[in-house]
Amino acid sequence: MPKNAKANRLANFICGENASDICRLAIAQLVETMEETCRRCMGDRRTLILDPLCKNRFYLSLLVEAGVPKTEYPLDCYTIRLEETRKVLEGRPNPLPVKDAVIRLGDFIKILSKAYRLKIPKEQIRVSDPEKIKELLVGIASERKNIYLSTSDKKLYLLVETKKGLLINLLDLDLKIAYVNLKERLIEIDSIDKFFESLLQIYNLQGEIYATPPNNIYLKIELQGNIEKEKLDDLLVGLDYMVRGEKKKFLLVRIAELGRPIISYEEIFDLIRSIRGKEV
């Protein structure tokens, strides 16, 4: 792919299809910086594995999410990322923390099959039909007590319990990409209800999501016993919340304002665990 084609793909992803000339110029500069950074990083194996020059392999995730062809990835870096993903799914330690990583969906399914010794025909791994992929993953989840799957139209949440904790993975069937171990990334409003339902099921809690006319979106969760206000304040720094009810108390937390998310996956997860009485 010519350099300007890569820049156009990134500009469309970051700035939209009607990106201004200023945005395209900035993206062209970004591409040059990325390529120089990747060249230097892949020139030193220890740096590439232990201390990549872009934080958490951010440039790599950006290329994958923007739909840049695999041939344009820093391939040594991507190979290491796939091995890191396998270790994360198996609950094994990694030299580099893996969070908010983005890889291709087909590669994620291959890693999942190897990590859990699943016998998946190669033609199923390569299949491009979203319904076939969904059917495959539903079958995997039904056979594993540590895997929880929730589905929306074109997105799936695959939650995996490991020795290191719960992994939150989001699979986009349209874009054919997988978001691995979501932490700091802001929630996706169009599919958050399915993620919330899965967490409530795992931690045996009652709750719901609802929106007000300005399109502010709230989590409503039934509280288990007493939880100190100071603890809620610490968990919900910068977020609007209130506790309502008499016999049954419910926590209401605003998670989106005017349709825009304001809370990360990790913040929701930590909140649910704390309400259930688990240590965060």
Predicted local confidence at residue 114, as pLDDT: 83
Predicted local confidence at residue 171, as pLDDT: 94
Give the Cβ contact number of residue 192 at 10 Å.
21
Distance (Å, whole) CA 194 – CA 134: 14
Q: Does 144 or 280 have the greater pLDDT score?
A: 144
What percentage of the chain has pLDDT greater than the value 70? Answer: 94
Q: What is the b/e burial string over 58-96, where b = at least 16 CB atoms within 10 angstroms of the residue's CB?
A: ebbbbbbbbebeeeebbeebbebbeebbbbbbeeeeeee
Radius of gyration of the chain (CA): 20
* pLDDT over threshold 90, residue 30: yes
Residues in the chain: 280
> Which H or E run contains 255?
strand 250-257
Q: How many helices (H) and strands (E) does the chain have?
A: 11, 10
- Tell me the one-letter amino acid at 180: V
Q: CB–CB of 38/77 below 8 Å?
A: yes
Predicted local confidence at residue 2, as pLDDT: 55
Domain ranges across the chain: 1-60, 74-185, 192-276
* pLDDT tier, 279 (very low <50, low <70, confident <90, very high otherwise): very low
Helix (H/G/I), strand (E/B), else coil: 27: helix
Distance (Å, whole) CA 244 – CA 193: 21
Tokens of 118: 């699943």
Q: How many Å is the maximal CA-CA distance in the chain?
A: 65
Predicted local confidence at residue 123, as pLDDT: 64
What is the model's pTM?
0.90
pLDDT tens digits along 79-94:
999 999 999 999 898 8
DSSP-assigned letter for residue 69 = -
- Phi and psi at 205, nearest 5°, equal -120, 165
Predicted local confidence at residue 180, as pLDDT: 97
